[in-house]
Structure 1
Amino acid sequence: MNEILESLTKGIAVYETLRTYKGKPFAVNEHYQRLCKSLRYLNIEPPTFEEFEKLVYNNLSERIRIVYVYAGRLISYVFQESTENYNVDYVKIDFTSIRRADSNSIPPDLKSLGRPDIYLARLTKGDNYDVIMLGDKGQICEGTFSNIFIVKNGKFITPSLDSGILDGITRMYVIKYLKEVGYEVEERFVEPYEIFYADEVFLTHTSKGIVPVHQIGTMQTKSIELSSKLTLQFEEYIKWLL
């Protein structure tokens, strides 16, 4: 217990959350590479891939949250979680007044428990599934735990990495899948007004894959038809990859 308290009060915590499909963890290598990037920002030598992989396979559950804390040495904590809290029939999102931290201050791909911008934004969620954070130029970035896509005239548009977003692993695979099945995907700066003129809007995140959005603020989205189909198709695609 003393070691836990010391590591949490004096250390810096980075983490990764993995999803399993039928008992098989998804994208272990990608999560490991992103973890290494976070630790190297902090000048901390990461664990070996074999050490990370062992933690994953020894703690299989729907969601596996692996937290690394540095307090003189690297200490790992593993939490076995479920996806139950993300099971909702009606998804409402909104914008938050809390801005994403400037990339020159905090790297967007530093996945740390101690990010005050994300913590403060989550406090504004209310009854929303997630809230969307804007960047220093007013561009759409991402949710507090999700990436965002809009569909317009058959094209999929999502904020680019240089918008100041986390390089979401589910986002990456969704883009890969959409391109493989013949859709056009555009990664670029996205203005807030574009979300209200979109044909569909959906979120992506580790725990649920693709999540269709029914409502933005007080406005209902035009449709969830395509994104609802993609939700099921993407899940089958991931299972096929495994």
Structure 2
Amino acid sequence: MENKIALVTGATSGIGKACALTLAKLGYNIIATGRRADRLKELAAELPNEVEYLPLVFDVRDREKVLDILGALPEEWKAIDVLINNAGNAHGLDPIQNGSLDDWDAMMDINVKGLLYVSKAIIPGMTKRKSGIIINIGSIAGKEVYPNGNVYCGSKHAVDAITNGMRIDLNPFGLKVIAIHPGLVETEFSLVRFKGDEKRSESVYQGFEPLLAQDIADIVEFAVTRPPHVVIADVVVLPTAQASATIVNKEL
């Protein structure tokens, strides 16, 4: 394969899907991971004909499956140039005293441990080749803590710290390590957080113009197309109506 290779986790919807499509338009062959095989199949139909596509169905929380599947990539898919650690979720919006242990486990397992498992499988190849870009999709919740955000904010603060640690540890190998921290992006995020409550989910994005998944993919495109001596290390991106994690002007 002559094209470069990008691996995108959580590519079945939202930011992950937008990143996969954008990188494919740049000429990257795409490895897309997710839990929903039907969505990965649908993604294939949207990719340009000139790029190759490898869908992988697994949950990033499953350490053995992550390491087994990514460790057994076909030879022609092993030299991954760009890793987008996008898979992540929020579960619930409760004060700490009422929080669900299952929700806490899900957020820490997906947002933190899942990112680490995938990175553990891919980074050694990058360090061996002394080439690669790692982009971790964080959140404004990784920069601020807001009421009832407790464990979700903690998981995204961990992503921010891990990303900074990666950048330090991988500096001797010439790898680029990038964090993108979005504010309010209209995706399935709130539908998952509110456990399928469509009315509550839709209310999050009403009264102002939120970011779209493509807005984040555009930043990814800018980051991966910088010259070798430039790394866009840390980006916080908000819709114009949003000033902080909790301040949103719904009159714009």
TM-score scaled by structure 2?
Answer: 0.23
Would you tell me which structure has more helix in proportion to its own residues?
2
Would you tell me which structure has more strand in proportion to its own residues?
1
TM-score scaled by structure 1?
Answer: 0.23
